[in-house]
Structure 1
Amino acid sequence: MDLNMKSVIHYKAGPYLPLTENWIYTQIINHKIFLPIVYCHGLENIDYFPIKKLRAFGKSNKQSNPWTMLNKAMNRLFKYNPFIGEAMKKDKPDILHAHFGGSGYLLLKHKKDYGIPLVTSFYGVDVSKLINIRPVWKRRYKVLFEQGDLFLAEGTRMREKLIALGCPEEKAKLHRIGIDVKRIRFMERKPREDGVVCLLIAARFCPKKGIPYALEAINLLSERRKTCKLQLTIIGDSSRNKRDKYEKNLILNILNKIEGKVKIKMLGYQPYPVFIEELYKNHIFISPSITADDGDDEGGAPVSLIEASSSGMTILSTFHCDIPEIVLDGQSGYLVPEKDVDALASRLEQLITTPDLWRKMGKAGRKHVEKYHDAEKQAQQLEELYLSLL
Structure 2
Amino acid sequence: MSRPEKPQFKTCIVTSDYHVPGETFINRHIERIFGGDTVVLCGRFNGKNPYGKPLFERRSRLSISDRVIAPVAMGWNSLTEGTGRLPFGANRTRLMEWLHDQRVEVILAEFGTQALVVAKLANEMNLPVFTYFRGTDASRALTSPQRVKSYRKMMPRLDGVFSVSQFLLDNLAKHGVTHPNSHVVPSGVDVRRFVPGAKVPGSCLAVGRMVDKKAPQITLRAFAAAARGREAHLTFIGDGPLLEPCKALAAELGVADQVTFTGALPHEAVREHLLTTETFLQHSITDKNGNTEGLPTAIQEALAAGCITVSTLHAGIPEAVTEGETGFLVPEWDEDGFAGAIAKVLDLPDRAAMSRAARATAEAKFDNAVLLGKVEDEIRRVVALREAH
Q: What is the TM-score normalised by the length of structure 2? A: 0.83
Identity %: 23
In the TM superposition, residue 182 of structure 1 has moved relative to its aligned partner by: 1.0
* Aligned residue in 2 for 1:202: 207
1:149 corresponds, among 156, 159, 163, to: 159
Indicate the SS of the match to 2:18.
coil
Unaligned runs of 5+ in 2: 78-85, 384-389
The letter of the residue matching 1:267 is T
Q: Is the 8 A contact 2:12 2:108 kept in 1?
A: yes
Larger radius of gyration: 2
2:139 corresponds, among 124, 128, 148, to: 128
- Cα separation, partners in 2 of 1:178 and 1:30, compared to 1, 3 Å: farther
What CA distance in whole angstroms lies between the structure 2 residues aligned with 1:255 and 1:261? 5
What is the correspondence of 1:108-123 to structure 2 with a 5 Å cutoff? 108-123=119-134
What is the correspondence of 1:20-169 to structure 2 with a 5 Å cutoff? 21-32=23-34, 35-43=37-45, 50-55=50-55, 57=57, 66=61, 76=74, 79-80=86-87, 81-82=91-92, 83-132=94-143, 134-169=144-179
Q: Is the 8 A contact 2:12 2:41 kept in 1?
A: yes
The letter of the residue matching 2:373 is Q
What CA distance in whole angstroms lies between the structure 1 residues aligned with 2:105 and 2:343? 53
Unaligned runs of 5+ in 1: 192-196, 239-244
Q: Is the 8 A contact 2:232 2:346 kept in 1?
A: no
Q: What is the TM-score normalised by the length of structure 1? A: 0.83
- Cα separation, partners in 2 of 1:136 and 1:370, compared to 1, 3 Å: same
In the TM superposition, residue 112 of structure 1 has moved relative to its aligned partner by: 2.5
In the TM superposition, residue 252 of structure 1 has moved relative to its aligned partner by: 5.0
What CA distance in whole angstroms lies between the structure 1 residues aligned with 2:217 and 2:355? 25
Greater alpha carbon shift after TM alignment, 372-381 vs 258-267: 258-267
* Aligned residue in 2 for 1:309: 303
What CA distance in whole angstroms lies between the structure 2 residues aligned with 1:375 and 1:171? 21
What is the correspondence of 1:281-296 to structure 2 with a 5 Å cutoff? 281-296=276-291
In the TM superposition, residue 160 of structure 1 has moved relative to its aligned partner by: 1.3
* Aligned residue in 2 for 1:371: 364
* Aligned residue in 2 for 1:12: 15
- Provide, for residues 133-180 of structure 1, a one-character-per-residue CA deviation record: whole Å limited to 9, x for no partner: x33211111111122221111122112122223233513221222211
In the TM superposition, residue 32 of structure 1 has moved relative to its aligned partner by: 4.0
Q: Is the 8 A contact 2:16 2:44 kept in 1?
A: no
Indicate the SS of the match to 2:183.
strand
What is the correspondence of 1:323-338 to structure 2 with a 5 Å cutoff? 323-338=317-332
User: RMSD over aligned Cα, in angstroms?
Assistant: 3.0
Number of residue pairs the alignment of both structures matches = 362
Indicate the SS of the match to 2:26.
helix
In the TM superposition, residue 257 of structure 1 has moved relative to its aligned partner by: 2.4
Matched, 1:175 2:175: no
Higher RCO (C-alpha 8 Å, min separation 6): 1
The letter of the residue matching 2:167 is R
What CA distance in whole angstroms lies between the structure 1 residues aligned with 2:47 and 2:261? 22
